[in-house]
Structure 1
Amino acid sequence: MWKTEGRRSSEKATEGFGSFTARHRGSTAGARRARARRLLAPLIVGCCAVVSVLVAVDYWANAGAIYRGVSVGGVDLGGKTPEEARELLEDPRQGVLREIVLQRGPERYSFDADEVGVALDAAGTADRAYAAGREGGVAPRLLDRMLAALGAADVSPKVDYRPEVAQAEVEDLARRLDENPKEASVTIEGATVGVVESREGYEVDVPGTMARLAAAVGEGAAEVRVAGEKLEPKVDTPAAEEAAGRARTAVSAPLVFTAGGEEWALQPDEVGRSLDATPRGSEIAVEIDPERLRESLSEMYAALTVEPREAGYELNGDEVAVTASQTGRSVDEEALLADLTKGLFERKSEYEVPVVVDEPELTTAQAEELKPTELLGEYRTNYGLTSDKSAERVENLQISSNAIDGMVLAPGETFSMIENVAGLDYNASKVIVDGKETLADGGGLCQVTSTLYMAANYAGLDVTERSPHYAQLPYIRPGLDATVWFGDENGAGALDMKFRNTSDGYVLIREYVSDDGYIYAEVWGRPTGREVEMGSRRVALTPYSATWVTRQRVTEDGEVIYDGVLHRDTYGALESESGEIIPMDAFEPAPVNP
């Protein structure tokens, strides 16, 4: 029992000793901290005192002057009064914002500051330098002072900036720097194929450059990077190289063309002259130029081309003979080009020329079947009855008659007088304009027109357009005449005479000037069984006008198919050279059938 208790007593004693030891150690650490605080306090107080002294000394040392180490644009202003700093900044030799540089890559473009609207505010800048280390919170002032002590306090200058002035200079620079991209291309000189390389272009971003300039000026920087972008060409060099390869393939060997046992060769340089290298989007198309190919193969085309000839008609006495037709042939150019386009760039060198047959529209057999065999209608007028009996007017009659003599009209085809007699080289002779005789080119055309008009009527053809003259004429009865006028320089107001071939066969037109004083017009065709009667009579007369009614009676195979008024015309009085009105009944009207 005692041992046990004794042991317990010993354990308690040990526990108590342990607790005493811990308390003793904690008391030692606290003592040490207290002792450190007692030693540090005087040190802090001393440092503050020193700082205060230094601040005071620095303040009195720099009173009224810019802190040493402060600069503007690399110009040291430390120790100078604001006034001295202003004078220094105004000195051109110092170069503070005297020049603005715009940079594009390695290229530099210098401008005097005033050229881009930049002016240094020397007084404001000096004040800003003086304020460094003096204005703002404690921390910013101490930082400025520290930077100044290290010589690293560079103050941004104060400037006056006029962007409208800079805008003009930047736009001018843009005009100098802007450059369109150069497209790659392919040159083909005979059998020699070359490549012109592409080049990037450039476009200045004027608004972006202005923004950068404004930001730089605000920070006092004198160098500004130009804003802009590169412009890529649509067709680059690799695309041109690819097209050049196709062209070189095309001119690598002669081309041989065969047709009908004949042979023609096209040498590489001639092949090259027939090629075109044309940009198409981002690529270059190498193609055959049909016209230049035709020129290079002119001998082949000439040998393989035969123009078709229509059958025709000619009058031998009272007989109409057929002139034979001829079948033509020609190169099927579309098929040839398709074959060449496919094979030329695959080194194909031999080609069979496709030839097509061109049949005439009117063959000899058709012409024989449809040929005019009978005189359907004829008429004549006396050209000696006019007041102008000059050789010039007679020659005009011959020129216009020859232009229509021998013409052939297919069934359903329409004849136009203007289309056949306009634009020829006529003489000046008498014509009627506004009731007066005057000289003009082409006098006499109306007599040729009137004569043919009546022949077409007697042939039973359908007259689709006709206009009367202004005045009655001595060579043809009123109501049976037809005029022609080419209109103004644009053809406005033209008067034509037209008729349509309403027969089932071809119609042959003949007109000629005879030495007996008459113009003759004839219309030959297939028998129609038609008979035509024409006549006109005056139904009204005044000193200044006369009205005539024209009637026509048409029978076909003895049956009347028309009998009535064809048209009603009113003619005006002519005025003599002296200005007097010529009476409407001054001369006897010509007969219906001279």
Structure 2
Amino acid sequence: MARAVAGPTIVLCAIFAVLVAADTWSSGGEIYPGVFAGSVDLGGMTPGEAEKLLGTRAVGSAGIRLVGPGEIVLEAGQMGARLDVAQTADRAYAVGRTGGFFERLGDRGRAFFGTAVEPAVAYDPGSVRAAVEDASARLAREPRPASVEVRNSEVEVVAAREGYSPDVGATAENVGQAIGNLRDEARLAGEVLEPEVSTSEAEAAAAQARRAMSEEVLLTSGGRRWELSPAEIGRSLDFAPADGALRVTVDRDALKENLSAVYAALEERPVEADYEVNGTAVTVTPGREGRRIEEEKLFGALEDGLSDGERRYAVTTVVSEPEFTTAEARKMRPTQKLGSYRTNYSIVQDSGARVDNLAMSSGAITGTLLAPGETFSMNDTVSGLDYNATKVIVDGQEALADGGGLCQVTSTLYNAVNEAGLDVTERSPHYAQLPYIRPGLDATVWFGDEQGNGELDMEFENTSKGYVLLREYVADDGYIYAEVWGVPDDVDVQTWSEPVYRNADSARWVTYQTYREGGKVLYDGVLHRDTYEALKDKKGKPIPADTVPVAPVDP
């Protein structure tokens, strides 16, 4: 049995060996058929012929062509690619000629069906990526959605365009593989970006716009007539992407502009109620109703009807109320004195220039009306006036400066505001105790330096339910008076101060406040604590704080 099998096998091997020998003789000096260097067929060539062919293929002057959108070729020099043609030809020629008999026999058998050797090629991956990045930058583009443009009475469609987002990493890898396989092209990896609106969708929107602009539109109201021309209708249309389509809507701002004649004829602005102030008397200037077009109704009808061929529209109007009505003005009119305070200006021995300053700043305050929630700033109100240079206290010592007396005006108003129960949001004490105001009940102001640095202000907010009227004036009895008028309320506020200590160098005072509304105590405690340094005489010598006269809580 063994002899029966061995006989045919020996015969087949002998035949194969003869065929190989014959092929070897016929291919002497040539690369065996079926041998490739990468993708280049070198079979049947002498090594010299293979070198010539390899020198003109793949990584030559033609470089690598990127297959994809656009036409871009990467040159070999860009990528640092180098092919050793002699070594590559030698590798191809060596197939079937090296190794033992059976190894050579196996290589020859594989070559019969096609076999490839690795080309002796090298390249710089960094240079390849840089070249791909440069090419990708030229190919990358955003998609352009289709759009509709209206020029006069003509409607035009701007066609859509696809975008492209290259994948640099994947493309660089494809180029590297092409170089290694001696191919002259590589696939450009990336993603085609579809536009948000297609050309067909824009064509559908354009057809809708053409229907809307097919004829004039007639608007009527109470026997009056106006027309919108097709061009005006076109200028009033808007095209916006929505759910993958191009939606045709009415540009309400543009439409309102095109309907300016209609608005001028039918609309009337309401007149706001207001106040006139004469001393403490505040009278109401009545407001007046206006009239406005029902825009939502009109614009909605136009949006729904234009593309359906509707050409006639009624314009309706409604009453437009003022934001501040006469009834509200009467309800919020200040009629009751909520708080008042006075301080003695005759205590300060100075010329009449200081009294003039008191009168100027008081006059700037008098007649001020504050709406609920509005904040009053002393500095904003009294700055910029032509004040006289009079005595002021700077670092505890008497000096001359413009605006002497402003702090007395501020302190007087501050206490009237406290009594009115309004919310003081900013207040600073003086450097030292002053004879015209009790320590803890004072408030100072300073406009700051030329750059506004160091500014001190007294501010309060109108936290009442109505308007507040401020009144401040200098009387001939030696006192300056401040009054806060508002709507009647049931608020009672008491503010007073007591010394913690008083000595030659300084004094410490604590200020208390009790706030009642409707007879119920809402706050009863410390308002603030202040420390005062000693005043100095003309020679700079300290005046003991405990020798400075203390004004009463209620002068």
1:515 offset after TM fit, Å?
Answer: 8.9
Is 1:401 matched up with 2:334?
no
**Corresponding residue of 1:248:** 210
Cα distance between partner residues in 1 of 2:492 and 2:27: 134
**Corresponding residue of 1:174:** 136
State how 1:431-442 maps to structure 2 within 5 Å: none
Cα distance between partner residues in 2 of 1:160 and 1:439: 94
Is 1:416 matched up with 2:375?
yes
Is 1:356 matched up with 2:315?
no
Structure 2, unaligned stretches of length 5 or more?
1-10
2:502 to 520, 541, 545: 541
2:424 to 458, 465, 474: 465
Asked if structure 2 preserves the Cα contact closer than 8 Å seen for 1:202 and 1:228, the reply is yes
1:509 to 444, 461, 469: 469
1:278 to 236, 240, 244: 240
Is 1:113 matched up with 2:72?
no
Cα distance between partner residues in 2 of 1:207 and 1:435: 76
Structure 1, unaligned stretches of length 5 or more?
1-44, 148-152
Cα distance between partner residues in 2 of 1:260 and 1:399: 53
**Deviation digits for residues 527-576 of structure 1 (CA, Å, limit 9, x no counterpart):** 7799988776656312233345668899999x999999885753412666
State how 1:156-195 maps to structure 2 within 5 Å: 158-162=119-123, 164=125, 165-189=127-151, 191-195=153-157
1:522 to 465, 477, 483: 483
204 and 264 in structure 1: CA distance in 2 versus 1, 3 angstrom threshold: same
* SS in structure 2 at match of 1:417: strand
199 and 337 in structure 1: CA distance in 2 versus 1, 3 angstrom threshold: same
* SS in structure 1 at match of 2:545: coil
54 and 172 in structure 1: CA distance in 2 versus 1, 3 angstrom threshold: closer
**Corresponding residue of 2:267:** 304
Cα distance between partner residues in 2 of 1:184 and 1:581: 85
Asked if structure 2 preserves the Cα contact closer than 8 Å seen for 1:427 and 1:443, the reply is no
Amino acid at match of 1:355: V
Cα distance between partner residues in 2 of 1:266 and 1:225: 57
**Deviation digits for residues 250-299 of structure 1 (CA, Å, limit 9, x no counterpart):** 44444454456655544444444443322334222333344444444445
**Corresponding residue of 2:193:** 231
Taking CA–CA contacts closer than 8 Å with sequence separation of 6 or more, which of the two structures ends up with the larger relative contact order? 2
TM-score by length of 2: 0.70
Amino acid at match of 1:480: L
Asked if structure 1 preserves the Cα contact closer than 8 Å seen for 2:440 and 2:529, the reply is yes
State how 1:116-131 maps to structure 2 within 5 Å: 116-131=79-94
**Corresponding residue of 1:322:** 284
State how 1:476-495 maps to structure 2 within 5 Å: 476-482=437-443
Asked if structure 1 preserves the Cα contact closer than 8 Å seen for 2:443 and 2:458, the reply is no
172 and 437 in structure 1: CA distance in 2 versus 1, 3 angstrom threshold: farther
1:198 offset after TM fit, Å?
Answer: 0.6
**Corresponding residue of 2:415:** 454
Is 1:201 matched up with 2:163?
yes
**Corresponding residue of 1:16:** none
Amino acid at match of 1:509: L
Cα distance between partner residues in 2 of 1:244 and 1:169: 43
Moved more, 575-584 or 538-547: 575-584
**Deviation digits for residues 13-59 of structure 1 (CA, Å, limit 9, x no counterpart):** xxxxxxxxxxxxxxxxxxxxxxxxxxxxxxxx9xx99x969957x86
State how 1:68-83 maps to structure 2 within 5 Å: 80=46, 82=47
129 and 530 in structure 1: CA distance in 2 versus 1, 3 angstrom threshold: closer
128 and 474 in structure 1: CA distance in 2 versus 1, 3 angstrom threshold: same
**Deviation digits for residues 465-495 of structure 1 (CA, Å, limit 9, x no counterpart):** 3745133345534343345799999999986
Name which one, 1 or 2, has greater alpha-carbon Rg: 1
156 and 350 in structure 1: CA distance in 2 versus 1, 3 angstrom threshold: same
**Corresponding residue of 1:573:** 533
143 and 353 in structure 1: CA distance in 2 versus 1, 3 angstrom threshold: same
1:199 offset after TM fit, Å?
Answer: 0.6
Cα distance between partner residues in 2 of 1:393 and 1:159: 100
**Deviation digits for residues 284-336 of structure 1 (CA, Å, limit 9, x no counterpart):** 23333444444444454455132242253533x67554332323443444444
Cα distance between partner residues in 2 of 1:497 and 1:456: 8
The sequence identity of aligned pairs, in percent, is 36
Moved more, 438-447 or 201-210: 438-447
Cα distance between partner residues in 2 of 1:322 and 1:590: 40
Asked if structure 1 preserves the Cα contact closer than 8 Å seen for 2:507 and 2:545, the reply is yes
Cα distance between partner residues in 1 of 2:158 and 2:318: 39
1:355 offset after TM fit, Å?
Answer: 2.1
Asked if structure 2 preserves the Cα contact closer than 8 Å seen for 1:179 and 1:201, the reply is yes
Asked if structure 2 preserves the Cα contact closer than 8 Å seen for 1:330 and 1:357, the reply is yes
1:350 offset after TM fit, Å?
Answer: 1.8
Cα distance between partner residues in 1 of 2:520 and 2:36: 122
**Deviation digits for residues 95-136 of structure 1 (CA, Å, limit 9, x no counterpart):** 574243224359553344353343223333222342356566
Asked if structure 2 preserves the Cα contact closer than 8 Å seen for 1:200 and 1:233, the reply is yes
Asked if structure 2 preserves the Cα contact closer than 8 Å seen for 1:399 and 1:426, the reply is no
Asked if structure 1 preserves the Cα contact closer than 8 Å seen for 2:438 and 2:550, the reply is yes
* SS in structure 1 at match of 2:142: coil
1:358 offset after TM fit, Å?
Answer: 1.0
Amino acid at match of 1:573: E
**Corresponding residue of 2:7:** none
369 and 174 in structure 1: CA distance in 2 versus 1, 3 angstrom threshold: closer
Cα distance between partner residues in 1 of 2:304 and 2:59: 68
State how 1:129-144 maps to structure 2 within 5 Å: 129-131=92-94, 134=97, 141=108
199 and 87 in structure 1: CA distance in 2 versus 1, 3 angstrom threshold: closer
* SS in structure 1 at match of 2:143: coil
* SS in structure 2 at match of 1:198: coil
**Corresponding residue of 2:301:** 339
TM-score by length of 1: 0.66
Cα distance between partner residues in 2 of 1:229 and 1:238: 22
